[in-house]
Structure 1
Amino acid sequence: MKAPTAVLADDERLMRDQLRSRLAQVWPELQILDEAKNGEEAVSLTLQHQPDLVFLDIRMPVKTGIEAAKDIGTQAHIVFITAYDQYAVEAFEHGAVDYVLKPADTERLSKTVERLKARLQANAAPPDMSQMISQLAKQMGIGKPNYLQWIQASIGQELRLIPVEEILFFQSDEKYTRVQTATYEALIRKPVRDLAEELDPALFWQIHRSTLVNAKAISGVVRDLRGRHLVQVKGSNEKLEVSRSFVHLFKQM
């Protein structure tokens, strides 16, 4: 029996590296033929390599994983990579769609691999999932703005993936942007003005030209003796200054 083959598609290099490493642990026979950084590349590489499997991140630039899956159709078995919450996972379970939770967990990945092995050993043709994919796209809001879900940040010599919902605030100086969570601080080079365009504005509020704060982490707003508005943040002793341009955000609080 020939070795099974796959293409990996995720716009985060660190996530591709992690998935490749975890797959090597639980399925050493699997050959990774190529990697894609977006859905369009995934479709092209699938046509080029004709793999047995394609691992598709749901949210990717140019073309999403859902859109790529529609184009790939029955040319390969599709495995979705998702960082979504329990409601989304239930949608996958009920649809009998193979999926990998992000970041990849070895134990959970092993269960997916066993299902995939069974399909390949039975020579089962890739199913027509067009209707199922359309339902998933509707339920998961594919087509809405593709906001950042993770931040890659340096902590000393370590590169860490930080889920955006864990971040309390971002604060920039001339060179770096500080990423503050409840338990640690990290640094990235991307300025606040770029982050403001890439993060969900309903979750992260810009309160200063150099500061973005997680709206869910705001515990209150106070005024100091100079009349400045200061945001108090849960899990932090710091108070973040609100510039005059953004005071209107707190008029109703």
Structure 2
Amino acid sequence: MSTLPYKVIIVDDEPPARQRLKQLLSEFEQTFKIVEEAENGNDGIEKITRLQPDIIFLDIQMPGMTGFEMLQQLPEIPLIIFCTAYDEYSLQAFETNSIDYLLKPIRKERLAKTIQKLEFLNKDNRTKQIENLLKEITSGEEIKKEITSLTIRKNKRLLFLKLLDIIYFKSGDKYVTVFLKNGEQYLTEQSLIRLENKLPDYFLRIHRSIIVNTNLVHEIQLYFNGRYAFMLNDDYKTRLISGRSYLPLIKKWIDL
């Protein structure tokens, strides 16, 4: 590995997450020098191959190509530090001297421990262990994704909303509104389709414009024209009406 500061490329599909990580890394400028950032796997492959960074801060679950799939296409693998909101991956696979695993939202104190770990790395062992990790991940059963929080940009701040506090999402003309149990509401630029692909299984699409947290469903009532009324267990006893085209998904969930 080259001398300090280490050349860094950030690969993450969420701009707020990239911005937060850049802010954190800027506080350790003697250790890290950000040379580029990428918004997806294909973009990451091109920039990593061209710039040859020492370290990649890499998100795992990205649309089109996961972080693991991106690594398999690299001609040479540098040091990888995974940064993800998914906490259901096998953390034991990451407990080596070759890599680190940062759970979003990343904290400054946790990043400082990563820097301490960098002092004990060996380049040859690092590459071999990362290759072994990829084989273990891709040859085993499919890894279940499980995010625990949602990043929301509000003015110049980044908020991290716990999924357990979110009762439902509802799409509007340009944005999706996030509704919390306590009545608070936030806007996100992420589409319902994107949210549906990344949210845990206990979130259910019941309408073309609504995703509901089924853990907070108190009661379901038959509604007219083959629809259901979902009664939620929040502070305001919210009532949501499903769409007819989502009846098969709802019935499948009810039978579970």
TM, length-normalised to structure 2: 0.77
| Pair 1:231–1:195, CA change in 2 (3 A) | farther
Task: Give CA deviations for 1:122-178 in whole Å, capped at 9, x if unaligned.
Answer: 666742222211213456836x8x899865545577553545554211224556532
Q: Could you tell me which residue of structure 2 aligns to residue 78 of structure 1? A: 80
Whether contact under 8 Å (1:8, 1:56) holds in the other structure is: yes
Superposed structure 1 runs of 4+ greater than 6 Å apart: 146-150
- Structure 1 position 110, deviation (Å): 1.1
Q: State whether structure 2 residue 80 is matched by structure 1 residue 67.
A: no
Give, in whole Å, the separation in 2 of the partners of 1:175 and 1:40. 27
Uncovered stretches (5+) of structure 2, i.e. residues with no partner: none
Q: Look up the SS of the partner of 1:186 in the other structure.
A: strand
Q: State whether structure 2 residue 136 is matched by structure 1 residue 135.
A: yes
Q: CA RMSD in A?
A: 3.7
- The within-5 A match list for 1:196-211 is 198=197, 202-211=201-210
- The within-5 A match list for 1:1-253 is 1-72=3-74, 74-85=76-87, 88-93=90-95, 97-119=99-121, 126-128=126-128, 129-137=130-138, 141=142, 151=150, 153=152, 155=154, 158=157, 160-162=159-161, 164=163, 166-174=165-173, 176-183=175-182, 184-188=184-188, 192=192, 194=193, 198=197, 202-222=201-221, 229-236=228-235, 237-246=237-246, 249=250
Identity rate, percent: 28
| Pair 1:62–1:174, CA change in 2 (3 A) | closer
Q: Look up the SS of the partner of 2:120 in the other structure.
A: helix
Give, in whole Å, the separation in 2 of the partners of 1:7 and 1:49. 9
Uncovered stretches (5+) of structure 1, i.e. residues with no partner: none
Task: Give CA deviations for 1:213-253 in whole Å, capped at 9, x if unaligned.
Answer: 112221212468xx984312122321212345555636659
TM, length-normalised to structure 1: 0.77
Give, in whole Å, the separation in 1 of the partners of 2:85 and 2:141. 11
